[in-house]
Structure formats: structure tokens, C-alpha cells
Amino acid sequence: MNRIFSGVQPTGNLHLGNYLGAIRNWVRLQEQYDCIYCVVDLHAITAPQDPDELRANTREVTAGLLAAGIDPANNIVFNQSRVSGHAELAWIFNCVARLGWLNRMTQFKEKAGKHRDNATVGLYAYPTLMAADILLYKATHVPVGEDQKQHLELTRDIAQAFNSMFKTELFPMPEPLILGAAARVMSLRDGSKKMSKSDGSDYSRINMTDDADAIALKVRKARTDSEPLPGSPDGLEGRTEAANLLGIYGALADKTVAQVCEEFAGQPFSVFKLQLVDLAVSVLAPIGKEMKRLCDDPNYVDQVLSDGAERATEIATPILSEVKKLAGLL
């Protein structure tokens, strides 16, 4: 059976970039794979967190996944800390992985910056916990972006090392699931910057909780230029704001940028934005409405996470038991 494991950080304030870049793909994958979707709160605490905010963000991200269309009855949706096997297997993998492997991980260098001596051990060992997340369920496929390819390669190295060390074929070699070019969604106020929850202007992003009026206003206020729309993507060179809006339209409509250029060639942004407003509202407003409803019902969200954790534990327990047996743990 092909099984997907994918994790999402409980960062809160989900926006259009999160939806088009990852969540929408997860919704589509559930039709083809046995899917396990995890809100990785143990990974989140590698950086300082406010406990109340972390709990709220975990619920909010879960609400976003459900509102976008992930079915918790047919897929497993849970938060990482509810299944202790993640931490247990990560420790065993800490005793398999080599320092040289972790030293090559570029994300630690980027996140720790010039203050590596003050970084936590958790941040350094983050990739072994990621390997445990995947292998605890014998996942065969992992949706990955460019920034995660290296971590998946390490997961494969750890799986191979464990299998070799204990003369077993327990762990599969998980394959990267490349979903094509992910929509790279930029700020609505500055086409050279990624859309981000940390941007000071709320008009720079479309939040997944925005209602129809907010979505329409933000699209209308989105920065553009004075030139008409080109007939091909070549005409977007140097026009970052135009490229961003056409890319968003294409992603929402499941069209290529070339198709969008052809459709709106020569038209002014005033005409194009009317169409983008209609499209964005039709796709995103129902998600925002449902997400708000779920955020107002934390007991339901907690029950989804609890049920998901029980089902995840049922899969993980025999695998972890076999790991312990092979490693000589009573």
C-alpha cells in the first residue's frame, strides 16, 4: 500500500501561499493514497513558543486542513505530540545517524545563523525527528519542496543504516513525491517578496479566514503596473506584481500562466482584477467561512486530533515494537 506522511508546522495565520503551495495538493492526494497528515508541534518547539499560542495555532492549522477539504474519516489527521512513538523512534535514530550527516543539513545553518552555539539540540537534531515521523508509519511517499529534499535524503540514509545495522528490511526507502511546480505566491504589495504572515500589512496577503469582502478588497488593492497584460509569459519579465497576480489566477483556475496570458492578452488590470476577484472569492470564501466555523468549535477539532492520534498509534505501535526488539530493548 502506498502511504503518504506529510507534516505542517502549527504557525497560525494560514494564507493563500500555504493553501496553493501545500494544502490544496494534500486535498488532492487523499484520492490516490493512504494519507497521514500531522501538525508537527514537537518540531515547533525547536524555537521558543508561547504555550497558549501554540495550542491555538495547532487547532487553527487543523481547522484549515479540514476546511480546505481533507476528510478526517478517510485520512489520519493528528498532532505529533499525541503519539509518543515519534519521540521514541527519534531517539533511536539519534543513535543511528552520524554527526557528519547532520552537519551537512543546510536548514540548521540557516536557522541558527551566527549563533550556532546558542541553538538548541532540538533544532540540530530536527532531521532525525523528521525521519522518525516518516518511518514510524513506513510511509512510502513524502510530498516535498525544494527545502525538504535534503531531509528526505537523510531519512533514506537513516532507514538504510538501521536496516543494515540490525540485518533487517523493516524500513522502506520513502520516495519524494514531486507535485510539479508549486505555486510561488508573492506579496500583494511587493511582488519581489514571498507572501508571509509576518508582513506588517494585512493587505499583503489573503488569509484563509478572510471573507468574500476582504478577499475582494485585497485583490482590488493589489499592486500592479500601468502596462496591459502580455500575450505570453515572456512579457512578464521584470513585472513581478503582474507575474504574481497572473500566477495566482492560474493556480486558482488550474491553468498555466501561458494560458492566462493568452486569455487576457492586451487587457488592462482593471478588467483582469474583476475576473480575479470573482475567481478568488468563489474558491477561497467557502474555505474561510468553514475555517472560521471550525475555529469556533475547538472541541470538535480536538476530537478530530484525538481520533487521528488513536488511529496513528494503531499503525505505529507494532512498527515501534519491532524496532525495539531489533535494537535489544526490553
111 is catalytic: yes
- 167, with CB counted inside 10 A (0-12, 13-18, 19+), is exposed
197 is catalytic: yes
Instruction: Give strand pairing partners of 176.
Output: 142
CA–CA distance, 30 with 210 (Å, rounded to integer): 25
Decide: 195 and 17 in contact? Cβ < 8 Å: yes
Q: Which position among 111, 138, 255, 292 bears the catalytic label?
A: 111
Decide: 12 and 61 in contact? Cβ < 8 Å: yes
Give the phi and the psi of residue 260 in degrees, each rounded to 5: -65, -40
Decide: 215 and 239 in contact? Cβ < 8 Å: no
Q: Which position among 138, 194, 255, 292 bears the catalytic label?
A: 194
Decide: 140 and 110 in contact? Cβ < 8 Å: no
Angle at 299 between CA 295 and CA 300, to 5 degrees: 75
CA–CA distance, 243 with 261 (Å, rounded to integer): 10
Alpha carbon distance, N-terminus to C-terminus of the chain: 30
Residue 168 vs residues 58, 90, 318: alpha-carbon distances, Å = 36, 18, 15
Give the phi and the psi of residue 17 in degrees, each rounded to 5: -65, -40
Decide: 304 and 79 in contact? Cβ < 8 Å: no
Q: Which position among 138, 197, 255, 289 bears the catalytic label?
A: 197
- 73, with CB counted inside 10 A (0-12, 13-18, 19+), is exposed
Sign of CA dihedral 50, 63, 79, 160: negative
Residues 6+ away with beta carbon under 8 Å from 228: 266, 267, 268
Residues with catalytic roles? 111, 194, 197
